Amino acid sequence: MSRRPDMTQAEAEKVLDLPERYGTDELRQAFKALAQEYHPDNAARNGISQQFAQQRMIEVNRAYATLKRLFDANPSQTIHRDLVSGAAHNRGVGVHVAPSGDRSVETQLDDSLFWDENGNPRSAVMENEANVAVDAPGHGLRRTLLGPALLRLVFITLLGLVWWRTFPLLPDNRANFDMSPTAPLSSLVEVLMAAVYPSYFLLYEIFAGGFSGAVREIVNGIVSNVTRVHVEVRRKGSYRSSLSGFVRNQVYGLLELPLAALSAVRGMDVAGTSQIVRFVAAGVLVVDALLGFFGTGIVVSAARWLSDLIEKHYVTMRMDMLKRCGQWASARHGR
């Protein structure tokens, strides 16, 4: 008797009708629901023949056994559903079109299969194919100028120059600030802001590359729409929006404290309602800054909301851009 061939992940997920992302709970729930429907004790009551129910239960059990093994190493992980199998037959072949109009790369993948709804690559295969497909020939200079290494070096250099010209404790800059014991509070706040902001932005770019990543994404989108050719110049595997990460990952508590000090100091120079408003604003900023260090607060929540909004639409906008640029078509319909 021949051995039944192993069921693939994609086949098993189709049998159990799992969502695009699923964990052990979703896997067990899907299995339990189907088992109850096709169990011999329930089949007749559900209007299902015993023979069909038995065949169906064999498939359900094989599918569950196949997918259950994926969670052996990490039971708490979330798995992205494999939607690749059969793509070439069911959804057409993805075709990358060079600037000259000739097909330069063909993949057995439709563009909508690369990413899920949250902007993550569906699998390592998707990630590698996407990197190949969007690397349009004839745009080497653009890839160099907007490349992560060069652009980040440019931003670090520019921010470093700003820091060098403004940091108050450097000998050449001390003359621009009043740091004497009798200096007014407004002067001390100026020193604080000149010390915090340039240093923060420089360190943020050095360790996170936030500014250059966001600018690279924006410029790449603008140029792609103008030239009608999309060239991906982000780091391999980085398919989440750089702009979204830039908005979300700031240390907003640190950025708010100098503004709170500025508002309080300026409140001392006025009277009446203006003074009350500035003192209240300073108090709100201080409280929100302290909350920000714990991952909450008004500014952090607003930044998180904006980041999620950017991320939500990033993949859709990116794929629409590819289609507008004419870099993807279906081999089924031709070009």
Q: What pLDDT score was predicted for residue 322?
A: 59
Instruction: Domains for the chain: give ranges and CATH numbers.
Output: 9-72 (1.10.287), 140-325 (no CATH)
- Per residue in 214-223, pLDDT (tens digit) is 888 888 778 7
Higher pLDDT pick, 173 / 88: 173
Higher pLDDT pick, 166 / 316: 166
- Long-range pairs for 258-265: beta carbons < 8 A, 24 or more residues apart: 258/189, 258/192, 258/193, 258/196, 258/197, 259/285, 260/285, 260/286, 260/289, 261/189, 261/192, 262/189, 262/193, 265/185, 265/186, 265/189
Specify the length of the chain in residues.
335
Asked if 56 contacts 31 with a C-beta cutoff of 8 angstroms, the reply is no
- Picking from 293, 314, 309, 292, the residue whose alpha carbon sits closest to that of residue 301 is 292
- Per residue in 7-47, pLDDT (tens digit) is 888 888 888 888 767 888 889 999 998 888 887 777 777 67
Q: What pLDDT score was predicted for residue 48?
A: 76
Distance CA 87, CA 10 (A): 11
Q: What pLDDT score was predicted for residue 89?
A: 35
Asked if 81 contacts 19 with a C-beta cutoff of 8 angstroms, the reply is yes
Q: What pLDDT score was predicted for residue 235?
A: 53
Q: Which of 257-266, 303-312, 324-333 has the lowest mean pLDDT?
A: 324-333
- Per residue in 204-253, pLDDT (tens digit) is 999 988 899 888 888 877 877 777 666 665 555 455 688 888 999 899 99
Share of the chain above pLDDT 70, in %: 69
Mean pLDDT over all residues of the chain? 76
Asked if 267 contacts 278 with a C-beta cutoff of 8 angstroms, the reply is yes
- Return all residues near 102 (Cβ < 8 A) that are at least 6 apart: none
User: Does pLDDT of 115 surpass 60?
Assistant: no
Average pLDDT rounded to a whole number, residues 57-78: 85
Torsion of CA 83, 232, 236, 85, to 10 degrees: 10
Distance CA 83, CA 22 (A): 13
User: Does pLDDT of 116 surpass 80?
Assistant: no
pTM of the model: 0.57
Distance CA 116, CA 118 (A): 5
**How far is Cα of residue 166 from the mean position of the Cα atoms in its chain?**
33
